[in-house]
Amino acid sequence: MTRIEQGSYDAIVIGAGFSGLYALIKLREMGLTATLLEAAPSIGGTWYWNRYPGARVDVESVDYSYSFSEDLQQEWSWSERYAGQEEILDYLHHVATRFGLTPDIHLGQRVTTLRYVDNEDRWQIVTADATVRHGRYCVMSTGFLSAPLAPVFDGLDSFTGMILKSTEWPDRADFSGQSVGIVGTGSTGVQMLPHIASAAATTYVFQRTPAYTVPLRNKLQLKSFEEDVKRDYTLWRLRQRQAPTGAIAVGSAAAPASAADSALSVSDAERMAIYEQCWENGGIVSFYLSFPDLMADAAANQTLSEFIRNKIRRRVHDPAVAERLIPDYPVMSKRLCADTGYFEAFNLHHVHLVDIADDGLQFDGPGVFVGSDHYDIDILVLATGFDAITGAMKRIHITGRGGQSLASHWEHEVRTAGGLMSSGFPNMFWINGPGSSAADAAPPLMAEDQMAVVGRIIVAADSAGVVADPPMVMEKEWLDECGATMSATLLPKAKSWYNGANVPGKVATGMIYLGGPVRYLELLNQFADRLIDGIEESGTEVRERNQLWAD
Ligand code: NA7
């Protein structure tokens, strides 16, 4: 294919979700020439692709939004407590229009190759249509839940029905009169089941691992709450940034402080009252904020695990079905889900739970076998999750200094410096990506905070006249930091996208920082300080050398 040269920029941003749009805003604000490449035909990132029925955010809308513009914060109103996928897209389109981003966004441009050209100190970016662009800086905003996982099922090619993927949902899907099989009982499957079950004639839920899920209690946004937040959004954001979850709205109010240092330091009655309050508030955030040791201490965790298990026993009428829906791993070792009628769907006569943990699924033309049991299904819905955090970047062929590929750099562990860069990949940054605390933070705010750091590094590198490339020792330190935070939690107790165990054979050491967004940003800034010191020293050396040559 003939390559088409499309220009050279100070910076190229890849991905038009929350992170990418903000990256573009920031880079332009810094006076850099920047362009954004997006594979999809529209902006929105994962919110563009994941438009399955029931898709909505699981932290409250007032938290899941940008803070960088007071005008934007004041003029935008969320209609629901938890924004649905369409409204989030509307918001992102509003942002793109309001800040004049559209001319700098190129849609339908899937980046296939990113090559650092050593002797030019810049990145060459090639898209699937063979267009070539160059940028001195490269900001990867490719998303941490954006690379769909496509499990290989025996005989799937022979399946004669329709296959729908949660990550590539069609404009219209009609379930009426159909027999539907859903694979996947994570947040996505949990959100979609009640919608599909309300239309389908028969629904089979093929479950490998049960989910802990609590009621979302979505409702229309309370105007009085919105006004309260907007009265001092700056203070709200400050508190949000200090929270261990990056979110503080619970039940259309600001979350109270944790009740105690440990779930075990209060009486059983007090603890139960707190959990009941969280349950009534709705959503996951108040549970995460209730006691700080729930994700770290097995005994503390057991109190909440048992609380939710008992709730499942009450929500599901058939005790035998309820028991099969009850998880046996510690709550929050996979991300807690929030639902609207998930367990109640199993009380409907046409919704059937099928355990596939032992036998898996074998497809055969018109249906599917689980062991020797056969199920006729017209539509197979895959809600099987993501190759999270590293997946989207690994799907691009990235080579750094000396042609070293990022895939080989990350072959044994995900080596990042500060969860922002990798050694040997100069001037490349990623936002809400590998090695960061994106999974525990509010991604829009994390994008702003990480881009502030990127901005500092770019200014330093440009004024020193050198590239930003962290030394390997910084990666080693960060690996240790990530490892220590992971082993201090109960997350290794379950197989999930947090620890990469949802993808067979995936290397995930160092993939995620679990010390919380507050500590993460402290450490990130320390990393940037050291990197900038190094950049300034190299700049001085280069200047002195040039001077010597000139003399
Ligand atoms: P998740 O949470 O990773 O859930 C994926 C689900 O798909 C989960 O139940 C998996 O079972 C199931 N799955 C994956 N592969 C298979 C195969 N091969 N066979 C059977 N079942 C399978 O992804 P979601 O999209 O639901 O949510 C991701 C995040 O998005 C969520 O945490 C929120 O932050 C928003 P398993 O549990 O691995 O046994």
Closest CA to 373 of 348, 391, 356: 356
Question: Is the pLDDT score of 3 beyond 80?
Answer: no
Q: 355 CA to middle of ligand 1, Å?
A: 15
Q: 187 CA to middle of ligand 1, Å?
A: 7
Rounded CA-CA distance 50/36 in Å is 21
Closest CA to 63 of 519, 444, 450, 516: 444
Question: Is the pLDDT score of 1 beyond 70?
Answer: no
CB 150 within 8 A of CB 23: no
Rounded CA-CA distance 502/240 in Å is 30
In tens, the pLDDT along 353-392 reads: 999 999 999 998 989 999 999 999 999 999 999 999 999 9
CB 103 within 8 A of CB 36: no
Q: What HEC string does 272-297 produce?
A: HHHHHHHHHHCCCHHHHHHCCCCCCC
Tell me, what's the pLDDT at 247? 95
Of ligand 1's atoms, which has the minimum distance to the CA of residue 501? 38
Q: 215 CA to middle of ligand 1, Å?
A: 19
Residues 6+ apart with CB under 8 A from 466: 535, 538, 539, 542
- Nearest protein Cα to ligand 1, atom 3: 385
Match 């040559």 to its residue by tokens.
549
Where residue 541 falls among pLDDT bands split at 50, 70, 90?
A: confident
- Whether ligand 1 lies within 6 angstroms of the CB of 362 is answered as no
Give how far Cα 529 sits from Cα of 57, 252, 534, Å.
34, 38, 9
Concatenated DSSP letters of 372-416? TEEEE-SEEEE---B-TTTHHHHTSEEE-GGG-BHHHHTSSS---
Rounded CA-CA distance 73/87 in Å is 15
In tens, the pLDDT along 174-196 reads: 999 999 999 999 999 999 999 99
Question: Is the pLDDT score of 464 beyond 70?
Answer: yes
Q: 208 CA to middle of ligand 1, Å?
A: 9
Closest CA to 81 of 252, 248, 237, 255: 252
Question: Is the pLDDT score of 550 beyond 90?
Answer: no
Tell me, what's the pLDDT at 536? 94
In tens, the pLDDT along 196-223 reads: 999 999 999 999 999 999 999 999 999 9
CB 180 within 8 A of CB 203: yes
Tell me, what's the pLDDT at 540? 85
Long-range contacts of residues 219-223, Cβ cutoff 8 Å, at least 24 apart? 219/80, 219/81, 219/252, 220/79, 220/80, 220/81, 221/61, 221/77, 221/78, 221/79, 221/80, 221/81, 221/252, 222/81, 222/252
Of 334, 386, 502, the one to substitute when testing ligand 1's pocket (max ligand atoms within 8 A of C-beta) is 502
Q: How far apart are the first and last CA of the chain?
A: 49
Rounded CA-CA distance 354/357 in Å is 9
Q: 155 CA to middle of ligand 1, Å?
A: 21
Amino acid at 259: A
In tens, the pLDDT along 242-299 reads: 999 999 999 888 998 888 999 999 999 999 999 999 999 999 999 999 999 999 999 9
In tens, the pLDDT along 22-47 reads: 999 999 999 999 999 999 999 999 99
What's the sign of the alpha-carbon dihedral 461, 467, 473, 478? Answer: positive
| CA 384 to chain CA centroid, nearest Å | 15
Tell me, what's the pLDDT at 438? 95
- Whether ligand 1 lies within 6 angstroms of the CB of 185 is answered as yes
Rounded CA-CA distance 338/359 in Å is 28
Question: Is the pLDDT score of 125 beyond 80?
Answer: yes
Where residue 152 falls among pLDDT bands split at 50, 70, 90?
A: confident
Tell me, what's the pLDDT at 113? 98
Match 């994700």 to its residue by tokens.
295
Rounded CA-CA distance 118/132 in Å is 17
CB 338 within 8 A of CB 213: yes
Tell me, what's the pLDDT at 121? 96
Tokens linked to 440? 């525990």
Q: 438 CA to middle of ligand 1, Å?
A: 18
Give how far Cα 426 sits from Cα of 126, 332, 434, Å.
18, 36, 16
Question: What would the mean pLDDT of 484-513 be, rounded to a whole number?
Answer: 95
Phi, psi of 170 (to 5 degrees): -75, 165
- Whether ligand 1 lies within 6 angstroms of the CB of 145 is answered as yes
User: What is the SS3 assignment for 43?
Assistant: coil
- Whether ligand 1 lies within 6 angstroms of the CB of 389 is answered as no
Of 146, 384, 497, the one to substitute when testing ligand 1's pocket (max ligand atoms within 8 A of C-beta) is 384
Tell me, what's the pLDDT at 548? 76
What rounded mean pLDDT belongs to the chain?
A: 96
Tell me, what's the pLDDT at 146? 97
